Amino acid sequence: MSAPYERALVSLTGLSVGDAFGERFFLPHDALRVAIEARTPPPGPWRYTDDTEMTLSVVELLREQGTIDGDALARRLVGRFDPMRGYGPGAKRLLDKLRAGDAWQVACREVFRGVGSFGNGAAARVAPLGAFFAGDDARCRREAEQSALVTHAHPEGVAGAIAVAAAASFAQQTREQPFDPQAFMAHVLANTPASLVRDGIEEARQTLGEGSVGLAAQRLGNGSGVTAADTVPLCVWLLCQRPDDFLETLWLTVSALGDRDTTCAIVGGVLACRVGVEGIPAFMRAAREPLPPGFALPVAASAQE
C-alpha cells in the first residue's frame, strides 16, 4: 500500500467517524443541549451518510488510478448511490440523470438551474484527496476541482472543495509540528480561488480570537444553508480551536448546530491528517458502522491507540 493512499485512508477514517458522529446529533433541542454540555457520546452504532458514501468513490479512484477522472467518478457515484443515506433532492435528481445515461458535464448544470451546485457536498468528500496529494499544492487544487465538477459545477462549490483539500494537505504536511493557526489560514487562503468561500475564510481568519463557537457560527455560518460558503469558513475556524484533540473538536463542531454531519465530516477528515488514526478515539472508530471491504486501514495503523 502506497504512503499517499494510506494517508487517504486515515483521512477517510476521520471523515466517516465525524460524519456518523454528527448525524447522531439531530436531536430535540433539550436533549441536544444536555448531550453536548455533558459530553455524552451517542450510543452506537453510528450510521454514516451520503458524505462518506460519496467519499468512498473518491478514495477508490485514488487507489486505482492515482487521479480523479470525471467519467470514472460519475460511474462510481451512481454505482454506490443509496437513497437511504440522506442525499439531498438535487443530488438525487443528478444521480438519477447520470444513471439514465446523461453526461455529467451537462446534467451537473442542468439540475441546478444551469449554473451548477454551490452546495457543500464536494467539500465534504475531499479531505482524503488533500491527504493523498499533500505537498503538491498545484496538483491538489487541480484534482480537488475535478472531484467537485462532477456534481458541483458552480465556482463556489469548486472553491469549497479546493479549500478543504488545501486544509487537509497542510494538516498532513505539518502533523509533526506545533499547529500554527495563522500559517494554516494563510495556506488555505493562498490556495482557494476568489469566491464567497474565500471571503468567508478570510473572515474566519479575522475571527480566530473569538472564543464562542456560537458567535463564530453566527458570523461565519454553520451549514444551515447547505452551501459551501456558509459551511467551509466555520470548519476552518473550528480546526484552529483544538487541533490536537479530535473528540473535543467534534464536540465543538456539533455545538455549532447547522449541517452537523457535513461539518463534522469536513473537520474529522482534515483533523485525522494531523492526529493520525491513533488520535481518533478507539470507541469512536468502533461505534461507526464498518466501511465496505477494501477501505480498511493496514493492521499496524488500525491497531494504534
Q: Which residues pair with 149 in a beta bridge?
A: none
Using one digit for the tens of pLDDT, what is the confidence trace for 221-230? 999 999 999 9
pTM for the predicted model, two decimal places: 0.96
**Residue 2 confidence (pLDDT):** 82
Instruction: Give yes or no for a contact between 87 and 50, defined as CB atoms under 8 angstroms apart.
Output: yes
Q: What structural domains does the chain harbor?
A: 3-290 (1.10.4080.10)
Above 80 in pLDDT, residue 106? yes
Report the Cα–Cα distance between both ends of the chain, in Å, rounded: 21
> What count of other Cβ atoms lies within 10 Å of the Cβ of residue 6?
17
pLDDT digits (tens, 9 = 90+) for 209-247: 999 999 999 999 999 999 999 999 999 999 999 999 999
**3-class DSSP state for residue 75?**
helix
pLDDT band at 297 (very low <50, low <70, confident <90, very high): confident
pLDDT at 304: 44
